[in-house]
Structure 1
């Protein structure tokens, strides 16, 4: 598979193909990239025009197009040979239970360490951090639930500044802000799953339901604290609770979090690039039937980006 996953997010642009190259024309000028170097094209622009020649040439080069609405994939245009790639689908459908468990354990380990890292940033010196750190580094059946409980108590005190806050999809306080941020994160993970050919309906831990994408929910877990931090920073800048609404200003603010820089092993990438790296590594783990290649993100920098 070619390396580049190209994201098109210019508000108004024209996509075409000339001399075997993807051509993107916008108010900022014209950019080109050889189609043979592209794995997939993700179009999040709300008013992009796509020339039919690009669709044909992309198919010849095995390049998929993911067309999004509000950042969520709405249409998937695949070359016929990629749409019928049963090898990867079979590998996903028949992941051994032991491998699923190892992949999920790595995912949860990263999520819990990221929650501990963020809690330490939000509440340095809090006496509850020692217990949260031990939970995050531990290995037991209820680890995810216990870490979440400890993390949200600290978050409630230091961000919501109330004992009444509970993390719920239908809750009040910061909950609507968190829900919107998680939706953006979910869409970003989905974009990358489609881009590398993974079927999001084959999860490793989350339950499969009608019209659900459990694998996207699985792989987004280590990145949730990125949204938690972004929302915490918004609340710090807007301490009046009446401003804790999903306004246009907030949507613009929170949708920028995938562009924040973080460390990913020996690299410094934006979060969107790290998600791509994690998804690609998961794909390799599935196709090799080994957990070793999977590299979920665990924060190592000393400060969370603002």
Structure 2
């Protein structure tokens, strides 16, 4: 079953009763609502005047529902995860921590090959020349020692938004960077949720190693999935709608990310389900029963 995503952009009081999420609003004219907790995959809390009870937090965590908080710029800035995400968590941590350097380099090679291949397919779909990207995808070496990821990314974004001559991919850059930032933040939380559910440590990456990054492995594994955010944002830009400001309509489209259909292992699957297959295949690599991560093909 596809889990629901709830977005709260107005003041609200969130509590629980009878395994339901109970929503009450300070405005008397607004009627309260209840939603089954078992149906929820993600909750995004944007407004600073949202109150949530500890009882509800506990039930959401036990249901593996990701609770995402936003900052003053309305961008996701934190993700609440359970201390125990899997019944075999300790054993799985051990396999992850004992992964050899050569294995990690091979896994990163697979990840970047999949990312660049997806970028090539996306450019081709938009009528752009993708020959360079297709070639670079085949030239990625173990550990991506020649940094094909960065080379491909620069080429990809330069050609994807050619009709926006002032655009360059930068977190603090001009729109549609605002849309990309928001979408990537949702994807990052979704990836971290899947890793925790698989019994892996999101902070121990296969490539990313910054000591201040608590989601290094999520940043690794989400790379081939970024294309689905790019495609969604591209459609938003092409629709002619004003994308200078991240309004509620645009956020609603971006919050549909978990339900986007992707193709993985030859079958169509919602992105949220596909991500779980990816993280489980990653654990199998750490365990030694497989040498390949399952990634979606755009």
Quote how far apart the aligned CAs of 1:116 are. 0.4
Aligned counterpart for 2:148 among listed residues 118, 143, 149: 143
Aligned counterparts of 1:213 and 1:289: Cα–Cα separation in 2: 25
* Contact 1:104–1:204 (Cα < 8 Å) also in 2: yes
Aligned counterparts of 2:68 and 2:214: Cα–Cα separation in 1: 17
Aligned counterpart for 1:104 among listed residues 103, 108, 117: 108
Quote how far apart the aligned CAs of 1:266 are. 3.0
1:190 corresponds to which residue?
192
2:283 corresponds to which residue?
283
Quote how far apart the aligned CAs of 1:137 are. 2.8
Quote how far apart the aligned CAs of 1:239 are. 5.7
Quote how far apart the aligned CAs of 1:246 are. 1.6
Q: How does 1:50-65 map to 2 (within 5 A)?
A: 65=64
Change (3 A) 1:202 1:137: same
Aligned counterpart for 2:124 among listed residues 109, 120, 123: 120
In structure 2, runs of 5+ residues without a counterpart are 8-13, 24-32, 46-50, 70-75
Name the Cα RMSD after superposition.
Answer: 3.5
TM-score of the aligned structures, taking structure 1 as reference length: 0.73
Quote how far apart the aligned CAs of 1:153 are. 1.4
Aligned counterparts of 2:68 and 2:227: Cα–Cα separation in 1: 24
Q: How many residues align?
A: 266
1:259 corresponds to which residue?
259
* SS across alignment from 1:268: strand
Quote how far apart the aligned CAs of 1:43 are. 5.3
TM-score of the aligned structures, taking structure 2 as reference length: 0.75
Alignment of 1:155 with 2:163, yes or no, is no
Change (3 A) 1:258 1:203: same
In structure 1, runs of 5+ residues without a counterpart are 18-22, 34-40, 300-306
* Contact 1:65–1:78 (Cα < 8 Å) also in 2: no
